[in-house]
Amino acid sequence: MKIDFTYFIEGLKKASTNMNDKSYFQIDNTESEELIYRERVYCYELYHQLRCVLGDLLSYKLQGEMDKSKHPIIEENYKPDFIFHIPGTMEENLVVMEVKPVHTQKNKIKDDIEKLINFRNYNYFYGILLMYGNGEQSLPKKIIDLFKSSLSREYDDYLLFIWHPGPGKEIVILNEDLLSVGEEE
């Protein structure tokens, strides 16, 4: 699993640098001069870039917006932004990932962290919260504080917090030590 996770993370790094068009991060608002975040626009491009980079070398499949309502095992009506898993089995769920723009309200970020933690009960080996911002110089303090408060010994080998600062930039892994935890399988 660790080798497959490393492959996924390396793919995510490459996919992030391939997203070099700022319109996937923020779009023009025709009503004002303000640029606005649209999570779906960002996620669709990230999905495209990830599929191009990851290919079909592993048994896992990348799927987006997988509706888990009416799932025979998962009780909650979750719809994670991304999952990287082997469809039809609950033993080989490698990654579940939620994505939010940097301006997201703190309570919505907390909800996504809780959702990621709950997916641990369904044999997902890694949960990722990816925050993105268009050319931000640094991640807002409220988000860093929220990440720190969410880390606990119980989840430090499971939750990965990632920031994608802007177009053409590589993701920044905020708890890099997770990648070195555990034995390679």
Q: Contact, 184 vs 2, CB < 8 A? A: yes
Mark the ranges of the chain whose per-residue pLDDT is less than 50.
181-185
Write the DSSP symbol of residue 128: E
Residue 34: predicted pLDDT: 75
pTM: 0.85
Q: How far, in Å, CA of 58 to CA of 62, rounded? A: 10
Sole residue written with tokens 């990965």: 160
CA dist list (Å): 68 to 9, 15, 90, 107: 24, 26, 13, 22
Q: What tokens does 154 get? A: 């119980």
Q: How far, in Å, CA of 5 to CA of 84, rounded? A: 10
**177 membership: H or E segment, kind and range:** none
What is the amino acid identity at position 141?
K
Residue 135: predicted pLDDT: 65
Cβ atoms within 10 Å of 40's Cβ, excluding its own:
11
The pLDDT tens digits for 51-93 are: 999 998 788 999 887 655 565 566 666 778 998 988 888 777 8
Q: Contact, 173 vs 160, CB < 8 A? A: yes
